[in-house]
Structure 1
């Protein structure tokens, strides 16, 4: 079985025999897979009337468990965006009726963002469609191979996901 990366690697080996092209064997495939997944996820989310960022915020709220609410600060840390971006996103989701803001009983100046019934229905439907699509991608891969692949990818990704050390520490 050959793929696009095989041709890319062969061409680089011919043009740059002085370089060890081996990392391209893995990382170019990961990169291409990420692009395919991004396009497919966008299509699934569009079918459910969501942008990828909307799914991200709604999914974070849904995973938080009942009552499916979080502070804007927790949401921005979880979704890795700035405060201004999160405020804009919450505004847009609230206007669409997918979330509601209400006062934080533990902080008189704070608010909590709660997933609405419509938001929960939309994110649940999008997630179900996404899982169905992703299951089709894995196809006939046996469970043991899936687990091994997940372990290998985790070992590659884990160091990249570690928080950066604090400045001055």
Structure 2
């Protein structure tokens, strides 16, 4: 089935057609892309929550655990590094580390480089949980991409990267 046939009558097409009818003086073409991105983000958020829930995790818990997992062996980072990777405040991160430690998913360890500092490290239970949740998440995300060919997925990823680059660029202070 051609891409045009599949996408010809989705909800965004109906919204765009209604705006064309009601406001023919406006260029509503940005809606054709960004409304679809927004709708896909909502579906992705629900699917991710489901994948994490199946492993007893909240989205924020997965974010912290996966940041530690991506750090590589021994799966530990400073609270400051976790702040940078998860974009939350210091107080929020302290609370999150406390809650994850209570669940036995992370532990605090003294920093070998700073006797006053601490490092946050995945426990074996945390490592197993984040690995299982990540595998489930990838299966869920593959399902969301549906029948897109590998070539279409690559092209879509490239186009979205181009759209996001200005937002991910370092900002001068």
Same fold by TM-score, threshold 0.5 exceeded?
Answer: yes
Is 1:34 paired with 2:34? no
* Structure 1 counterpart SS, 2:143: helix
Q: 1:61 Cα deviation (Å)?
A: 0.2
Q: Secondary structure at the match of 2:68?
A: helix
* Alignment of 1:60 onto 2:84: no
Tell me what 2:148 maps to.
141
Q: How does 1:18-29 map to 2 (within 5 A)?
A: 18-29=25-36
What is the Cα deviation at residue 161 of structure 1?
Answer: 1.6
2-side partners of 1:14 and 1:111: how far apart?
A: 61
State which of 74, 77, 86 in structure 2 corresponds to 1:70. Answer: 77
- Determine if the alignment matches structure 1 residue 156 to structure 2 residue 163: yes
Distance 1:146 1:27 in 2: 17
Rounded to whole Å, the distance in 2 between the matches of 1:162 and 1:84 is 26
Distance between the aligned counterparts of 1:164 and 1:93, measured in 2? 32
Among 11, 14, 17, the alignment partner of 1:10 is: 17
Instruction: Give the secondary-structure state (helix, strand or coil) at the position aligned to 2:109.
Output: strand
Unaligned 5+ runs, structure 2: 1-5
Determine the C-alpha separation between the residues in 1 that align with 2:156 and 2:150: 10
How many residues are treated as equivalent by the alignment? 166
The reply on whether 1:132 has 2:139 as its aligned counterpart is: yes
2:3 matched residue in structure 1: none
Provide TM-score, normalisation by structure 2: 0.93
Displacement of 1:163 after TM fit? 3.0
| Aligned match for 2:87, one of 76, 80, 89 | 80
* TM superposition shift of 1:13: 1.2
Residues 105-120 of structure 1 correspond to what in structure 2 (within 5 A)? 105-120=112-127
Q: Provide, for residues 21-43 of structure 1, a one-character-per-residue CA deviation record: whole Å limited to 9, x for no partner.
A: 00000000000000000011001
Give the superposed CA RMSD: 0.9
**Alpha-carbon distance between aligned partners in 1 of 2:152 and 2:17, rounded to the nearest angstrom:** 27
> What displacement does 1:134 show?
1.1
